Chain A
């Protein structure tokens, strides 16, 4: 009997699904490590490819998107807690690593390569380790004459309606806000945020988008991550980068390191540790410094590109990441009210 189209489709669908269910067997049996990554794929993937080449260990990665603001991998890690699929999480800031520590998703690992990294950028109990940092910097449109030098510019009448900032409920902007709360105290920080609103600060969905808005002249300036700034500058966009609050009595510039952690119950824990060691090496920090993200090495003595300052040359905002993580959770209702959703 001639088979109908429906039968053919049914056969195709069932056959393919069965084949897919078995297709990963060879890979599962081989040398692999599964890593979830919230650092931008354009910067993280080349590092992971190099690790594959140098060790022969196949890296299977899940990357995050700018649009979902890390909803993807963080939610997956939390939802997968009882049957973890990931071995390693490469977070683009340490606050998520703190959240995972609190939820019991990460495991203790002291990498030998972490010895040269300052203690302030590491979890003292070994649940995560920081490396290659971004700085929170201003991007300013080249057409702007007098450039802002302090985050207080957001509340200055001179810059009314000319500043934009990524939604403070997401990503590193939340970290910045929480850091200000820990330094200034609730009252002063709330007054600052309220003044920002009165000063008609624009809210974008991400730092990358803020940078594009400044480059296109929609706004004059924005506080963003240094990798957003450097990548656009290297693409020839009409922006300049300014390190804020570098004066004697000013609070300094927030430094946000990447953080890497071992997942509790990782199926490939030996390979996971090799990957963590690799990410925490001076060689990786140098690669990330010379990539378009121009991240700042935390090991001393690692070469950096011309346009990026070394960590020693930056006046760094003094914060405790654990305290910032706790404050971040505390101020969420306030930020929600401030943003409106």
Chain B
């Protein structure tokens, strides 16, 4: 009974924070002067240009998802499963672009490939003209979004590799070399993770409009954006989001068909087996070279140019003066948002994993839908819902930003929880139940300690996404409470290039330093890293 009450409470929180603003927007889109009208949706169906843009969106999303998967999966395997030197440093390096709003990365790439960019200084203007033409259009969009989302595939591949039961690989090794084992056993076993990461990249690319707008490649997400910014037409904008909803539901269907209905042999958290590492032998140096070149081209080059632009004491002093308080606010909001997301995601993930309520599938779909929807839809919906005199204590305070984070990013922490709970044998909770432990006690004493690693991972993912968020916070932040990401964007309008570059470097440092500190604490804390094994002894 308590279990149901607790889980229903968290579902209600998700419905209140995430679903209700959407319903408000939906109602606004079909009610005109008190009458129901589907005119906005009819206009969308009749418009040919919108469907052409949808085609462009699909092309961009498919190419980005394919490229990130083709490169990210082998990269993840190299970094998680081989004796490649500096693999942790490489993992951190490739993760850096994910910490930044993609638009800033597009600007960095312009500083590299533009007609008077970094490369023009070495290779001359004729080559720079070619690189510039490459950047502006579909190839440039794919390049920027590939470098932004590559870490998603890489990190999920690395995570899922740790779930493989090594006995299977050992068995395979008796009859084949590593290439054969990878092809026949390892990669098929982590296929759910790879498909999940590809779908995530696909959805994130669908919703992205800053990069395509900057690089002059017209895609569908700009329709919603344009309707808001040009005509302030909520009806048309909400109708414009409908195809995105359709695509998201299609993606969820694909996921259900290919991932959920299959069972995979995973290593349980209590198994005590270690991942078997591949010795690269004679190709080790080649692999280091290849990964280094990729890291240099995809991450170091744009960020080096950004860093070089920021090399002035005055720029950093000015950046901290103008945005120091926003930085502190951002760190605080991100920490609180990540904590709230971790708690909500944990219980929703538990509900989805154990199918504890009959609506588990709807809850899962709702979180993914909220993640994929344009932030403008959620943001305006939140304003219409919460901006009332009676709820001013929410709307006129930073609580509204936290609610925005919860609305948009709960899928991240619930999915991390699901993948964590898969590794915990149900027998443990069942054993405690047999000896009379209640559900809350089992959650507190058994499930949460065993899922500690997943909870922390979820917190970190939530922290990163809250910190880099600009879409939701831009629309709902209360006056005087702007976040660091928002302030970078507001200062970008005619702000000096060195100041903007310094702000971006501070943004990267503000994300990486706390993450590094937490990762260190994560490694040192007794019972966290080695928790389950220690308990078993």
Contacts and interface: CB of A to CB of B under 8 A. Distances in A.
B484 to A, nearest CB: 13
A6 B346 contact: yes
Interface residues of B, number: 79
Given A9-B459, A205-B214, A67 B103 contact: yes
Contacts of B397: 20-24
Contacts of B115: 216-218
B343 interface: yes
A77 B449 CA distance: 47
Contacts of A9: 339, 342-343, 455, 459
Contact of B340 (A13, A76, A336): A13
Contacts of B228: 71, 75
B26 to A, nearest CB: 15
Given A5-B455, A169-B226, A235-B496, 6 more contacts: A13-B340, A13-B342, A36-B479, A75-B229, A208-B494, A228-B494
Given A217-B125, A340-B218, A72 B116 contact: no
A194 interface: no
In the complex, which of the residues A4, A12, A228 has the most CB atoms of chain B within 10 Å of its own CB atom?
Answer: A4
A4 B489 contact: no
Interface string A1-44: 10011110110110011001111100110000011100011110
A203 to B, nearest CB: 7
A21 B494 contact: no
Interface string B436-478: 0000000111001100100110010000000000100011011
B518 to A, nearest CB: 13
A93 interface: no
Contacts of B218: 340-341
Nearest to B133: A218
Nearest to A212: B110
B444 to A, nearest CB: 5
Contact of A7 (B393, B444, B492): B444
A203 B444 contact: no
Given A61-B479, A65-B474, A231-B494, A17 B402 contact: yes
Interface stretch (B169-177, B300-308, B382-390): B382-390
Contacts of B52: 340
A70 interface: yes
A160 interface: no
A227 interface: yes
Contact of B339 (A16, A40, A204, A205): A16
Interface of A: 1, 4-7, 9-10, 12-13, 16-17, 20-24, 27-28, 34-36, 40-43, 45, 60-72, 74-76, 78-80, 82-83, 85-86, 99, 169-170, 174, 202-206, 208-209, 215-218, 227-228, 231, 235, 292-293, 329, 332, 336-337, 340-341
B216 interface: yes
Contacts of B399: 17, 20-21
A187 B125 CA distance: 41
A99 B231 CA distance: 10
Contacts of B497: 235
Contacts of A336: 49, 226, 230
Nearest to A72: B474
Given A4-B444, A65-B490, A71 B376 contact: yes
Contacts of A203: 216
Contact of B383 (A35, A80, A169): A80
Identify whether the interface residues of B are mostly helix, strand, loop, or mixed.
helix
18 contacts: A6-B444, A9-B339, A9-B343, A13-B343, A16-B332, A41-B490, A64-B493, A65-B490, A65-B492, A69-B229, A70-B229, A71-B225, A75-B228, A217-B116, A217-B125, A332-B231, A336-B230, A341-B226
Nearest to B392: A83
Contacts of B332: 16
B486 A79 contact: no
Contacts of A23: 397-398
Tell me which of B49, B50, B480 has the highest count of chain A C-beta atoms within 10 A of its own C-beta: B480
A79 B385 CA distance: 10
Given A63-B490, A228-B494, A341-B226, A75 B475 contact: yes
Interface in B361-402: 376, 380, 383-384, 387-389, 392-399, 402
A67 B494 contact: no
A19 to B, nearest CB: 9
Contacts of B222: 341
B494 A43 contact: yes
Contacts of A332: 230-231
Contacts of A99: 232
A298 B381 CA distance: 40
Given A216-B116, A217-B116, A292-B494, A83 B389 contact: yes
A43 B50 CA distance: 37
A78 B232 contact: yes
B443 A63 contact: no
Contact of A202 (B210, B216, B443, B491): B216
B449 A66 contact: no
A167 B252 CA distance: 35
Nearest to A40: B493
Contacts of A28: 396
B404 interface: no
A67 B483 CA distance: 16
Contacts of B456: 5
Contact of B494 (A61, A76, A86, A227): A227
Contact of A68 (B474, B477, B491): B474
A109 B54 CA distance: 46
Interface string B15-50: 000000000000000000000000000000000011
Contacts of A42: 491, 493-495
Contacts of A41: 487, 490-491, 493, 495
Interface in B179-218: 210, 213-214, 216, 218
